[in-house]
Each structure stands twice: as structure tokens, then as C-alpha cells.
Structure 1
């Protein structure tokens, strides 16, 4: 993927994530008054919203970091081994910062 296409996709992703985060942060479950009967289901809804917000925020960070790599001229290189990140991986995950091998190692360490 060429750098201009990557940047455009990343900026589109960032805009979409910002919209999603805004919706999640303004979720009416968090601000409406609850009856005692609804407390259990509302907690589940609030937990679900918080989980989605956590994932969206982490992905937003990854997209911003990818945009920085574009600006620095190192986009498409693994941040660990500096080898090229496969084209297919960047097509599927434009925010990817690691090659498949290094990403696998990182996930196994967790």
C-alpha cells in the first residue's frame, strides 16, 4: 500500500473512532436515573459500553502512532525488527506496527 493511501485510510479510521468514542462517552445508560429493578441490566450495559470504549481508545492510539510513522517516513517497517510489514497485513490492519512474527512473539509474552 502506498503511503498516501495508507495515510488516507488511517485518517478515515481516526475520524470514525473519534465519532464512536463520542457516542460511547455520551451513552444515555451512564447518565439516566435507574430504578432498582433495572440496576443489574444497566450494570451489564455500562460494562459493555466501558469495554467498547477501552477497545476504541486503544485502537485510536494505534492509528495515531501509525500516522506518526507515516510522517516520520518509517510506515510499513516493523517497530521491533525493522523488516517490512507484509503488504497484506497493512491492507487488513493499516495501523499495524509489527510484522506477523514480532506481533506473535509479543502476544505470546502477554
Structure 2
């Protein structure tokens, strides 16, 4: 994928993530008279919102890092081994920082 196309896709992703993060950081539970049972439901809703927010923030970091790699000329190269990241992987995940092999190693370490 060429850098111009990658930048356009990544900036679009970043804008969408910014919108999602703004929505998720709003008050997820309206203040109102609630029963004790409803309070338990609110807690699970808040946990769900926090989990979605965590994913969105991590995704935004990955997109920002990919934009930085475009700027410094290293986009499309694995950050671990330096080999090219396959175009198919970049088409599917333009924010991908690693080749498939290095990404698998990274995930096994977690």
C-alpha cells in the first residue's frame, strides 16, 4: 500500500476513534433514582464501557504510531525484524507494525 493511501485510511481511522472515545468518555450512566439491583447493572455497563474505551485508546495509539512511521519513512517495515510487512496485511490492518511472524511472537509473549 502506498503511503498516501495509508495516510488517508489511518487519518480516517483516527478521526473515527476520536469520535468513539469522546462518546465513551461521556457519562455512561445517567444520574437517576435507581434500585440496588439497577446499581449492579450500572456497574456492569460501566465495566463494558471501560473495556471498549481501553480498546479504542490502544487502537488510537497504534494508528498514531503508524502515522509517525509514515512520517519517518519506516512505514511498511516490521518494527522488530525490519522486513517488509506484506501488502495484504497492511490492506487489512493499515496500523500493523509487525510482520505476521513477529506479531505471532509478540502475542505468544503476552
TM-score > 0.5, shorter chain as reference:
yes
Which whole-Å deviations, capped at 9, do the CAs of 1:42-75 have from their partners, x for residues lacking one?
Answer: 1110000000000000000000000000000110
Which residue of the partner structure matches residue 60 of structure 2?
60
Structure 1 segments unaligned to the other structure (5+ residues)? none
From the superposition, tell whether residues 34 and 99 of structure 1 become closer, same or farther in structure 2 (CA, over 3 Å): farther
Cα distance in 2, alignment partners of residues 90 and 77 from structure 1: 10
Which residue of the partner structure matches residue 39 of structure 1?
39
The Cα of 1:34 is off from its aligned counterpart by 5.3
Any residues of structure 2 matched to 1:1-110 within 5 Å, and which?
1-29=1-29, 31-33=30-32, 35=34, 36-110=36-110
Cα distance in 2, alignment partners of residues 33 and 68 from structure 1: 44
Which whole-Å deviations, capped at 9, do the CAs of 1:52-108 have from their partners, x for residues lacking one?
Answer: 000000000000000000000110000000000000100000000000000000111
Q: Which moved more, 1:90-99 or 1:37-46?
A: 37-46
Conserved? CA contact 2:28–2:46, under 8 Å: no
User: 1:82 aligns to what SS in structure 2?
Assistant: coil
What is the total number of aligned residue pairs between the two structures?
Answer: 109
* Structure 1 outlier segments of 4+, above 6 Å: none
The Cα of 1:37 is off from its aligned counterpart by 2.8
